[in-house]
């Protein structure tokens, strides 16, 4: 029976970090693309992927979606945008 995990244990950590960073950028792009076409579930999916990759890659990038959250919080409180 073949193992499920396809990760190569001999992978260079520098290459892994670069691949994670590419995936992080792609997740941000896909999140914005999906939000732009009103696919809110897909936006949430890609935004959460971005958060996860940012955390496991230890990139410490500021969350590009935090302004959307702040806007929603203010609208919920009745503050005009």
In this structure, the dihedral spanned by the alpha carbons of residues 28, 31, 33 and 34, taken in order and rounded to 10 degrees, is 170
pLDDT number for residue 7: 64
Alpha-carbon distance of 61 to 7, in angstroms, equals: 25
Q: Which two tokens stand for residue 63?
A: 């969350």
Tell me the percentage of the chain whose pLDDT exceeds 70.
88
Mean pLDDT of 41-45: 98
Which pLDDT value is given to residue 5? Answer: 65
Q: What is the pLDDT of residues 1-38, one digit of tens each?
A: 565 666 666 778 899 999 999 999 999 999 999 999 99
For residue 30, what pLDDT is reported? 98
pTM value is 0.81
Measured N-to-C along each axis, helices 13-36 and 40-56 cross at an angle, to the nearest 10 degrees, of 160
pLDDT at 79: 80
């Amino acid at each position: 029976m073949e193992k499920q995990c396809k990760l190569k244990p001999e992978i260079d950590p520098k290459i892994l970090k670069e691949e994670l960073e590419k995936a992080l950028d792609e997740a941000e792009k896909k999140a914005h693309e999906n939000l732009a076409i009103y696919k809110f579930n897909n936006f949430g999916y890609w935004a959460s992927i971005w958060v996860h990759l940012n955390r496991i890659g230890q990139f410490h990038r500021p969350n590009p979606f935090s302004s959307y959250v702040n806007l929603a919080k203010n609208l919920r409180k009745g503050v005009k945008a």
